[in-house]
A and B are shown apart, each in its own frame.
Chain A
Amino acid sequence: METIDLLVVGGGIVGLTAAIAAAEGGARVALVDAAINAGSNANAGSLHVQMQSRFIRLFPDQAPNVEASLPLYLSAVKEWERLDREIGPFELVRKGGLMLAESAEQMAFLEQKAAREARQGLHVDLLGRSELDKLAPWLGEQIVGAELCHDEGKLNPLVANVRLRARAIELGVDMQIDHVTGLGQQGHVTVHCASGRVHHCDKVILAAAWGVGSLVQGFGLDLPVRAEPLHMNITEAGAGQINHLIQHAERSITLKQFGSGQIVIGGGWQAQSRGNQDVPGVLAQSLLGNIALAARLVPSIGQLRVIRTWAGMNTTLDGKSLLGGVPGAERIILAVPGDAGYTLGPLCGRAAACLALGNEPPLDIDPFTPGRFSA
C-alpha cells in the first residue's frame, strides 16, 4: 500500500499554497482538484484589509468576527508579498484602498470604522475631498471623502494562479483532477475518489472552500459554509490612472486597474448558481447595477467598453477562518478562509501545511479551530 505524506483537496489559492509550503518542507504531496466552480479561478485580485462595507451590511452577525480577524488580513497581505517576491511577480501593487463616501452619514460611518480598524493595527486615514483630489482627481464630483487604508492593494490573480501552479508542479506535487467522494481516518487517512482511486496518506488538508461542508459531515461537524455566486466585469485597456483599490462606504463595489490597463469591476454582486457542473450565470440586474455604480464613482471610465463578465463562487462561513484538525480525526485538517478568501488564502494555506507537518503555524490558530462547529 503506497502512502503519501499529504493529500491536499482543492487546487485553489489555499490548496496550492498549502501544497507548495508542504512540498518545500520536504513532504510528498498530492493534490486533488474537482475542476468545478473554483473561486480562485474567478477571483478579481483585490487584496482586502479594511472591513468591507458589503460584508458588514449583508452579514452583520459575522462582523464582530471579521473585526477580530483584522490583524490576520495584515499578515495575509505580507504573505502575498513574500510569494510575490519568491514565486512572482504577480503584478502586486500595494498603494492602498479608498473607501468612498457620497454623504456626510457615510463619512461618519467611515470615521467610526476607521477608529475601530486603527485599534486593530491597520494603517488608515480619513480624507476630505480636497485631500482626495490630490490622490484621485478622477473621482465623481459627488464624492465627499474617503477612508484610505494604506495596507490594501491588488494583484493579477491570473498570473498568480499560473505561477503558483507551476511552482507546485516544479516541487513535485502530484496534481490530479478528481472528485473526493469519501474520507476516513483509521491510523492514516483514506480518501476515496470518483475515479475509483483510493489515496492513503498521513495527513489530509481540506481546502475545498464551500465544498468542505459535505466532506466533514460524517465527523460531527456542522459547518455553516455557504457558496455565494458573485459577478465581475472587465473593460478593455485604458491609460494607467487608477492606482488604488476603490470601494464604497455603503454599496457593493470593488474597482481597480490591472497592469494591462483594464478596469476590473466587481465587489459582490449576485450571480446565478447553475449547479456544480456549470459556471454560475450572469444576471442582468447585477451587470447593470454594478457598472452603473462604477460609472458614477469614476466617470472617466465611461468611454471604455466592457468586454467580458464572469461569475464565480465566493465562500462565506461565520466571518472567521477555519484552521485546524477535525475533532476526533486530527489528521484531517481544515483550511477555509473566513472571508476575502483570495487575500487570506496563502496565509491559511501555509498555516495548514505547518499543522500537517507538525510545525508551528505562522499565526495563533486558537480562534479558528473547527471545534466551534462541533454538533
Chain B
Amino acid sequence: MSDQPSGFTFNGRPVALRIGQSVAAALTEAGQRPFRVTAKGEKRGMFCGMGVCQDCLVTVNGVPNQRACMTPARDGMQVATQVAFAALTEQPAVQTQEGRQLAPDVLVIGAGAGGLNAAIAAAGSGAGVVVLDERKVSGGQYYKQAAGAASVLDTQQQDGAALIAAAVSAGVEILSEVEVWGVFEGLLVMAHHEGRALIARPRTLIVATGAFERPRMVPGWTLPGVMTTGAAQTLWRSYRTLPGKRVVVAGSGPLNLQVALELSRGGADVVMVSESARPPHRQPLAAARMVAAGPRLAARGLAMSLGLRQRGVNVAHQTSLSRVVEVENGLKASFKDAHERQIDHLVDAVCMNDGFEPQNEILRLLGADMRYDPAFGHLRCKRDSTMQTSVPQLYAIGDCAGLGGAPAASVEGTIAGLAAASYCRDTPVPDLRKLQSSLAAHRRFQQRLWALYDIGPRDLSAQDDDLVVCRCEEVSLGELRQALGTAPGHAGTVKRATRAGMGRCQGRYCGPVTARMVAERDNRQVEDRSFYAPRVPIKPVSITAILAAQEMLDGND
C-alpha cells in the first residue's frame, strides 16, 4: 500500500483523503457538509466533532450509523449518506474475536490532560495502570494532537506529545479507540475496542472524561456547517482541515478567541468573533483580579486578542448569534449587538461555544454525589482532598467533575493518581500539600477568568416555539413548553411526553435545558435528580458489541 492514500467514495463520488484524516474531516475538506437525513427529512452534518452529538452519522462499507468524526478515513472506503431508517440486513455471522478482560490497579478513562497526569503519577508510584481513550490519538481536547503525518503546530501540541511520551515511558498502557459503553456497581467497566469486547474490573477507577461544548440554541443551529468551536479546532489541529473558507465564531469564553486565531492563521477568513460578555476593559476590576491570579495565562490571552487584531479579525463584544439561515452559497449568520442592531455575515461555517457541560455520565451512573453549580449551570461532582468521590475507589478529575480547565485537571490528575496508587499498594498517601496549593491557585485563576465571561446557561424564554431544542428527536421549544403546562414535576416526564432526550445523543444537549425549565416552572433548585436518570449505555453501542461482551463473559464464568 502506498503512503499517500488516494481516497474513498461518498455516495459513489471520489473524495480525496490525507493520512490520519477522519471521514468527517475529509468530507468537510471536499465541501461536503450534509452527512445524514433525519426522520423529518432535515439535513445534518458534523456538530460536536467529538463523538457526542451523533449527528454526523454516515454508512461506512454498508454498516449504518457510524460517526464520521470518530471514524478514520481509509483508502477505498465506501461512505454514504445516512438515511433515517437503516435497512435491517443480516450480516454474515461475526467471527467474534477473543475479547480482553483487565483487572488493573488503576483504570483511567480519558487520555486528556487530567487522565494522562493521573496515569503517570499512579504508574510512577508502582501501580499497574491502563488508560482507555475514545479517540485515535491521545491528548484530549486541550492537547488535541495532530493525527497522522501533520506536523506539530505549537507548544500546546508539543506539551501534549511530551505528556503522552511520559505516560508511555512510565509503563502506562494506553488503549485508543475504546468506546466505554457501560459501567456498573462494583466498578465493572464494559467497552468495545477494535471490534472486540473489553471488560475491566479495576481496583480503582479514575474518571477523566472531560466536557463537551454547550451550544447556543438559535434558529438554524442544527444546519450542516454549524458546529462547535471545538469541532472546528479538531478539524484544524488534528487534521489540518479548515471548517470552511469564511467562518464566524460565536458564544463566550477564551476558546473562541484561540480557535478564531488558529483558523485565521490556518488561512480561513474569520469574518467575526462574537462575544456576549462585555470587553475586559469595561470590567477593569474583574480583569485586574484575573491578571493578578495568573499573569502568565493572562498574557497569553492578551496575545491572542492582539493576534486577532493584527490579522484584522473583528471581535464584537456584547454581541450574540441570533439566527442561522441556509442561503444559496453558504450560511447567513445573523447577530444582535449591544444596541439590538442586526449584523449579518455570509459564511461557510458557524462555530459556536457557549460554555461547557461535564461528561459526568459514568460518575452519575455509579451514584457519585453531585451538586448543582448555578454560576456555570451544570453539576459538580463532590470530592475529597484526594479527588475521591462519594463512591469508594472512584475518583473524578478535570472537567467531568465540573469545569475547571486543563491546568487544574492536570494537578487533580496527579493527586488522584498518587492517591489511587497508595490505596492499591496499601501505602500512606504522600504529602499532597504542594499539589493542593498549586491546584488552589489554578482554581482561583479559573474563577476570575470566567467572571469576565458569560458562562451561565442561556435563557430561551425569548425564543420562538419552533426552535429545535432536541436535535435527535427534533423536538421544539414549543413542545417542551406545552409539556411544562401539564405540571410534569420532573424532566423525565417531559422526556416521555415529548421524546426530548430519547435520541442517540441521549439528551446531552436538551437534557440540561429541560431540567432547568422544569425546576424554574416549579420554583425549585436544580439538583442531580433534576436531570434525566443516568442509564447505560453511556454511548450508543451496537447489539453485536453487546453480544461479544456476553459471549466473552459466558465463556469465562
Contacts and interface: CB of A to CB of B under 8 A. Distances in A.
A35 interface: yes
Given A287-B536, A291-B550, A304 B542 contact: yes
B541 A305 contact: yes
B64 A308 contact: no
B390 to A, nearest CB: 15
A58 interface: no
A295 interface: yes
A161 B495 CA distance: 12
Contacts of B91: 299, 302-303
Nearest to B57: A236
B90 A162 contact: no
B1 interface: no
B496 A162 contact: yes
A35 B85 CA distance: 35
Nearest to B63: A303
A304 B503 CA distance: 13
A292 B85 contact: no
A interface majority secondary structure: mixed
Contacts of B489: 35, 177
Interface string B485-508: 011011011001101001110100
Interface stretch (A59-67, A187-195, A210-218, A278-286): A278-286
Contact of A306 (B64, B85, B499, B537): B537
B90 A288 contact: no
Contact of B88 (A175, A283, A300, A308): A300
Nearest to A272: B185
Interface string B169-197: 00000000000001011001010000000
B159 interface: no
B462 interface: no
B546 interface: yes
Interface in B1-54: 39
A185 interface: no
A166 interface: yes
A133 to B, nearest CB: 13
Given A240-B85, A299-B90, A306 B543 contact: yes
A20 B431 CA distance: 67
Interface in A66-81: none
B87 interface: yes
Contacts of A146: none
B94 A302 contact: yes
A309 interface: yes
Contacts of B84: 237, 261
Given A236-B540, A279-B533, A284-B190, A303 B64 contact: yes
B152 interface: no
Give the bracket for the number of chain A residues in contact with chain B: 35 or more
Contacts of A327: none
Contacts of A303: 63-65, 86, 88-89, 91, 542-544
B551 interface: yes
B535 interface: yes
A307 B504 contact: yes
B65 A305 contact: yes
B547 interface: yes
Nearest to A137: B90
Most buried by A among B64, B94, B503, B536: B536
Nearest to B533: A279
B90 A138 contact: yes
B118 interface: no
Contacts of B102: none
Contacts of A282: 184, 535-536
Contacts of A368: none
B543 A236 contact: no
A167 to B, nearest CB: 12
Contacts of A306: 537, 540-543, 546
A158 interface: yes
Interface string B344-377: 0000000000000000000000000000000000
Contacts of B421: none
B540 A41 contact: no
19 contacts: A35-B489, A238-B88, A239-B85, A239-B87, A261-B84, A282-B535, A287-B182, A288-B549, A288-B553, A295-B546, A303-B63, A303-B64, A304-B542, A305-B541, A306-B540, A307-B503, A307-B540, A309-B535, A310-B533
